[in-house]
Amino acid sequence: MKKKRMFAGLLAGALLAASLAGCGAASGSTAQPGSTASSAGAGVVEVTIPSYKTGENVGAVFFEPQVERFNQAYEGQYHITLESVPQDTFLDQMKMLAQQGELPVLVQSGDVDWLSNVVYPNGLAYDLSGWLEENPELKARLMPDGLAFCTDESGAIYSMPLATVRPTGFFWNSALWDTQEDLSAMTMEQFITAMGDQKIAFSTAENGWVAALFLTAAIAGEEGGIEWLQAGVENRIVDFSEPAFVNAIGTLQQMLQNNAAPNSIGATYADAANSFMSNQAALIANGPWMSSDFASTNSANWSNGFDGANVRAALFPGQIGIANTATYGEWFISANAAPEEIELALAFLEFINSPEEIEAYLLAEGGDAPGLTYSDGFKEEQGKTQVLADLAADTTADTTFVPCILDVIPSSVANADFGMLLPSLADGTFTPEDFAQRMTQAATEATAE
C-alpha cells in the first residue's frame, strides 16, 4: 500500500513539475500555431500552418508538394511548415483559436456562417483589397463572381477569391456501360432512359453526398429549378414545397429504387467509392478531384477487375455543372500576424495563384480557370487524363453552373436531416411530397429564432 501511495505522490509531483516545465517552454516559442515567426538567424521568416490537407487526406496529394515548391522558390527568405489537424476538428480548433485571438497566419477555409458572422465583422482577417489593387495581373486571374462575393460594402476583401472553378459531374465505367452518346447534352429524362438498369453508387449516410449531387442535377433540369438553387446562395432555402424540388425528389426516388447499387442505403462516401472501384456500380457522382483515384498509381485500391483507365466523366444532363462560383475562397490571413508574416502569407497566396501553379492544380484536381490564358502544352497535358479531358470538353459557354443543394440549405439540414430522411424515400415510406414536407419542417425548426 505504501508503495502505491508513494507512487501516486511521485506522479502528482512529476505532473506538476512537468506542467511547470511545459509552461516555461510554451512561453518561449511553440505556444501557438503560426506565431512561430523568427526573423532571426539567416533572415528566414518561418511560419507553421495547421492544415487538414496532409497525410491520408485526399487534398494532400497536391497540397503538400505545392508547399514544398513554395519553400524552394523562396529559399532563404520564407519557409512554411505544415502541421496536420484532423479534418473533423480543424474548424473547431480554428474557432477556439479565433476566440483566443491566436489564429495562425494563414487560415485554410472555414464555413460561410463562421466567416461572415464572426471572422470578418470582428476584424480578425487581413484586408487583401489594397494588395490586390497593386497586383492587377493577379486580380485579373480571379473569377469575377467570387471577387464580387468576397468584397464587402466598404470594399474590403478578406477572403482570397478563387481563380479556379471545379464543376462537379459524374463518372461512369465504360467497361460496364459502354455508351457513345453525349450524356450531358441529354435531358434528365433521356439520361434515365439511356441509363436503363445501370447501377449508381449512391451514398445516403453522412450528408448523402452522391445522392445530393444527382438531386441537384435533377432540380436544375426542372422548370425554374436553376433559379431556385441560385437564389439559395443569398438566402438559405427553408421552403421545399417548390415544384422543381418535389419533382426532382420524385426523380431521385426513381433512381434510388431502380438504379441504386447494392448497399447504397446507409452507404458512406467511402462505401460508395469502393463500390464504384470494385465494379459493383457503373456510375458515381463526385468532383473532378476524384480523378487521382483512377490513376494507375492508385491501383492497389481497385478490386474485382476494375480498371481506372475505363472511367469516363461528364457533366450532368442539361449541361449542368455543379459548382458555386459566388463563394469565399480557401484562405484568409490573420489580422494579428506580424508584418513579415503577412508578407510571407501574401507571397504564398500569390504563389499558389501564379499561372504555373494554377495549371498544376487543374491538372491534379481538375477544373477550369476562366481568367487564365493557358500555356501552350496545357490542353495536351490535360488530355492525358481521360476524365479531366472529358470534363473540359463538356465545359463550354452553354454550361450552366448551379450550387449544390447542400450549400443552399441550413447547415444542420444539409449535414443531418437530408441524409437521415433518404432511406425512407428509397424504400417508398415517403412520397416526394412527404419528403419535401419533412425537409421544410426540419429547416423551419433549424432556423427558428
Partner 1 sequence: MHATEKRPARYKPSRLQRANYKWIYLFLLPTVVIFAMFYVVPIVEVFVTSFTKWDGFNAPSFNGVRNYINLFTSHSFLTSLKNLFWWCVIAMTLHVGFGTLVAFVLFHRPHGWKLTRAVYMIPNVISAAAWAMIYRFIFNDDIGILNSLIRLLDPDFSVDWFYVSPWAFWSVTFTWLFYAVIVTLIVLGDLLNIPQELTEAARIDGATGWQLIRYVQLPLCRAAIGTSIICSLTSRIAMYEQIALTTAGGPDYATVSLPILLVNAITDYRYGYANAVGVLMFLIGLVILWVVNRLFRMDETDY
Partner 2 sequence: MKFVKKGAAQALMYFVELVVILLSVFPILWVVMSAFKSNGEILTSPLALPTSFSLDAFIHLFQTYSFPVYFLNSLLAAGVSTLVSLFFYAMGAYVIAKFEFPGRRLLFILFTITLLVPGHSKSQPIFSLISDLGLFDSIWGVTLVYLSAGMAMSIFVLKAGFMAIPKSLDEAATIDGAGFMRTFLLINLPLARSALATAGILMFLGNWNEYYFASLLTHSDSQRTLPIALSFFTSEFSYNYTNLFAALTIVILPGILLYVFAQEQVQASVAATGIKG
Residues that bind partner 2 (CB under 8 A): 1, 5, 7-8, 11-12, 14-15, 18-19, 22-23, 25-27, 30-33, 48, 50, 52, 55-58, 83-89, 92-93, 96, 99-100, 102, 263, 269-271, 273-275, 277-278, 280, 289-290, 300-304
Least distance (Å) from partner 1 to the CB of residue 420? 3
Whichever of 53 and 438 has its CB closer to partner 2, that residue is 53
Exposed / middle / buried, residue 185 (Cβ in 10 Å: 0-12, 13-18, 19+): middle
Whole-number Å distance between alpha carbons of 126 and 197: 53
Per CB under 8 A, does 297 bind partner 1? no
Choose from partner 2, partner 1, none: what does 375 bind? Cβ within 5-8 Å by kind: none
Q: In the set 430, 436, 439, 440, which binds partner 1 (CB under 8 A)?
A: 430
Minimum Å gap between C-beta 122 and partner 1 is 7
DSSP for 110-168, please give it: --HHHIIIIITTTT-B---HHHHHH-HHHHHHS-HHHHHHHB-TTS-B-B---S-B--B
**Dist CA 199 CA 203 (whole Å):** 13
Q: Beta strand 400-402 with 311-314: parallel, antiparallel or unpaired? A: unpaired
CB of 84 to partner 2, least distance (A): 7
Q: Which residue has the cell 450531358?
A: 184
Residue 229 one-letter amino acid: L
Q: Which residues of 399-426 are buried (b: 16+ CB within 10 A; e: fewer)?
A: bebbbbbbbbbbeebbeebbbbbbbebb
**Nearest distance in Å: CB 331, partner 1:** 20
* Dihedral over alpha carbons 219, 221, 227, 231 (to 10 degrees): 30
Which residue do the cell numbers 476566440 mark?
99
Q: Is residue 445 a contact residue for partner 1 (CB under 8 A)?
A: yes
What gap in Å lies between CA 373 and CA 139, rounded to an integer? 14
| Residue 437 touches partner 1, criterion: CB under 8 A | no
Select 65 or 262, whichever has its Cβ closest to partner 1: 262
CB of residue 47 vs partner 2: minimum separation in angstroms? Answer: 13
Task: Pick one of partner 2, partner 1, none as the site partner of residue 118 (Cβ within 5 to 8 A by kind).
Answer: partner 1
Is 258 a binding residue for partner 1 by CB under 8 A? The answer is: no
Record the cell numbers describing residue 17, joined without a space: 513539475
Interaction residues for partner 1, span 184-243 (CB under 8 A): 205-206
Which of 89, 266, 295, 433 is the binder for partner 1 (CB under 8 A)? Answer: 266
Q: Kindly tell me which of 352 and 422 has the beta carbon lying closer to partner 1.
A: 422
Q: Give the largest CA-CA distance in the chain.
A: 82
Minimum CB distance to partner 1 smaller for 275 or for 399: 275
206/340 with CB nearer partner 1: 206
Cell of 382: 490535360
Residue 360 and residue 66 in contact, taking contact as beta carbons nearer than 8 Å? yes
Helix axes 209-221, 243-258, angle to 10 degrees: 130
Q: Does 147 bind partner 1 (CB under 8 A)?
A: no
- Residue with smaller CB distance to partner 2, 271 or 341: 271
Task: Decide which of partner 2, partner 1, none touches 421; Cβ closer than 5 to 8 Å per partner kind.
Answer: partner 1
Reported as half-sphere exposure (CB side, CA atoms, 13 A), residue 103 has a value of: 29
Interface residue with partner 1 among 333, 421, 436, 439 (CB under 8 A) is 421
Residue indicated by cell numbers 458512406: 268
In the three-class reduction of DSSP (H, G, I as helix; E, B as strand; rest coil), residue 419 is classed as helix
Contact footprint for partner 1 (CB under 8 A): 95, 98-99, 113-114, 117-118, 121-122, 205-206, 262-263, 265-266, 410-412, 415-417, 419-424, 427, 429-430, 438, 441-442, 445-449
